[in-house]
Amino acid sequence: MLVYKILRADEWAALQQAGETAGAPVDVADGYVHLSTAEQAPGTAAKHFAGADGLMLLTLEASRLAPLRWEVSRGGQEFPHLYGPLRLADVQRAVPLPRGPEGHDFTGLL
């Protein structure tokens, strides 16, 4: 199963340079890296990245991430949470996440 992480340009650059990251400031504060399923990613973008440009959408294979836990979060849905560093080696694909007139455009990306 594929899961997704949205990063700002500086967070993506830091991951590329260091090879791993504890995530964005909210991830560090919460103690895990917030991830989303394909169905959840557009809502995550709308809630946490509205109006932001320069985002990257990372695709990851859930079975390769450890320790990964599915926990109830926004709207009672179970979200994937990575309780460890996000490693560049686990990123299957990283693509720019464009912003359209009605929010971020995930067409063909998920």
- Going by the DSSP 8-state scheme, the letter that residue 5 receives in this structure is E
* DSSP calls for 16-70: HHHSEE--SHHHHHHTSEE-B-TTTHHHHHHHHSTT--SEEEEEEEGGG-TTEEE
pLDDT beyond 90 at 100: no
Q: Are 63 and 19 in contact (CB under 8 A)?
A: no
What percent of the chain lies above the pLDDT cut of 70?
100
Place of tokens 């199963």: 1
- List the domain boundaries for the chain: 2-97
Place of tokens 């340079």: 17
In this predicted structure, what is the pLDDT of residue 85?
A: 97
pLDDT, tens digit (0-9, with 9 covering 90-100), for 5-58:
999 999 999 999 999 999 999 999 999 999 999 999 999 999 999 999 999 999
* CATH class of the domain whose range is 2-97: alpha beta
Specify burial of residue 57 (Cβ count, 10 A radius: 0-12, 13-18, 19+): buried
pTM of the model: 0.95
In this predicted structure, what is the pLDDT of residue 101?
A: 85
Q: Are 14 and 21 in contact (CB under 8 A)?
A: yes
